[in-house]
Amino acid sequence: MSEVSKWPAINPFHWGYNGTVSHVVGENGSIKLNLKDNKEQVEFDEFVNKYVPTLKNGAQFKLSPYLFTGILQTLYLNAADFSKKFPVFYGREIVKFSDNGVCTADWLMDSWKKDYKLDQSTMGFDKKKFGEDEKETHPEGWPRLQPRTRYLKDNELENVREVDLPLVVILHGLAGGSHEPIIRSLAENLSRSGRFQVVVLNTRGCARSKITTRNLFTAYHTMDIREFLQREKERYPNRKLYAVGCSFGATMLGNYLGEEGDKSPLSAAATLCNPWDLLLSALRMTEDWWSKTLFSKNIAQFLTRTVQVNMGELGVPNGSRPDHPPTVKNPSYYMFTPENLIKAKSFKSSLEFDELYTAPALGFPNAMEYYKAASSISRVDTIRVPTLVINSRDDPVVGPDQPYSIVEKNPRVLYCRTDLGGHLAYLDKDNNSWATKAIAEFFTKFDELVV
């Protein structure tokens, strides 16, 4: 009997569109939060019950009656045309890190809706002017960006840096980026109140970014989050910082929070559809028929394309250039070869990808050992930042069999379990995401009321 068969499979015939939120609080209770005005203290779960009605214990929500299972929700989110939804504009910054690597930060630019004459009814805008500005700012040799995204001019970047509103940093899913519908939905909802500055931190090599070192992102890859947040905290020491991670970005955020403990500059955090135990998720994606057939191959091919478009950098032998000193003394680190790329193009699961690339690069003998070591569940007990967790029991990628009892034991973590929603979707009849609205409501009330 395989490991995954010990737990319940996602049942495609378990259906519905009237969802319910359930708070799961462990034996250690819930941390007390200090409120601003009356200096009263309120427990974390009671704060959500009282001030965030969308997420209160027992709250109900309605999803699309046409997307009545988690599988349908997830498939539609990944396959439907959302080009006329969530019309956010992004200004891109190339962020350089201490190891000479880079990622990109896509800053939400609400003012550009007016500058480029966005028509909310048709989603049309002045594409000629936008194209001229895009051409002027685009760095040579970098890939063309997604719609409504361009690089910032020097003066625009300075203006972004002068904003001292509370900042929300969004971390996307595996091989995704700021262009994903769920990320655009989240960014739009967070910006709607005008209370926050919002930025999406695109992981190295994702969202048409370039890789400039021989390091692919992994679940261990928390150094960029750490450096970026520290940079922003140094810029405005007194403003609040928040972060929200989606799927694999939630894993990276969970690992960062656990590693940092009390040192994190974040005031609060949220995770959506985190695969807390990567080993269980990998087993589900390779052995559960529905998950394997409908989702696993697409994820593997997304990852393979990331390698393919960056082969010019990844294929350079380690240590052959002065700006690429050896970092891993392991012959298998020379895995970025044309032969391996051909092999990877036939992969049907992310496990195969991690077996060939990720695990050897980190010095693990195989992907399973990497998953065991890199799961955020092993660091949840040292999280010291109030953290809202949302996971659905009908998530075909994460599954219902995660060890949530460990999550519940940390009083700083509030686990909101939903019975419906799929993986990152939670789409209602208008294809808006209930989850992104709920997360935005949580951060708004937290920032407004908590010291």
Rounded CA-CA distance 116/442 in Å is 31
2 Cβ contact list (under 8 Å, min separation 6): 283, 287
User: Is 395 assigned a catalytic role?
Assistant: yes
Contact 62, 429 (CB under 8 A): yes
In the DSSP assignment, the letter for residue 69 is: S
Identity of the residue numbered 385:
V
Catalytic residue among 133, 288, 395, 447: 395
Catalytic residue among 247, 267, 291, 392: 247
DSSP string, 195-257: --EEEEEEPTT-TTPPP-SS----TT--HHHHHHHHHHHHHSTTS-EEEEEETHHHHHHHHHH
Catalytic residue among 45, 423, 433, 447: 423
Q: Cβ of 268: how many Cβ atoms within 10 Å?
A: 22
Beta bridge partners of 242: 168, 268
Of the candidates 31, 3, 61, 15, the residue with the CA atom closest to the CA atom of residue 441: 61
User: Is 23 assigned a catalytic role?
Assistant: no
- Rounded to 10 deg, the angle between the 367-374 and 278-287 helix axes is 140
User: Is 423 assigned a catalytic role?
Assistant: yes
Beta bridge partners of 95: 103
Rounded CA-CA distance 314/203 in Å is 16
Active site residues per annotation: 247, 395, 423
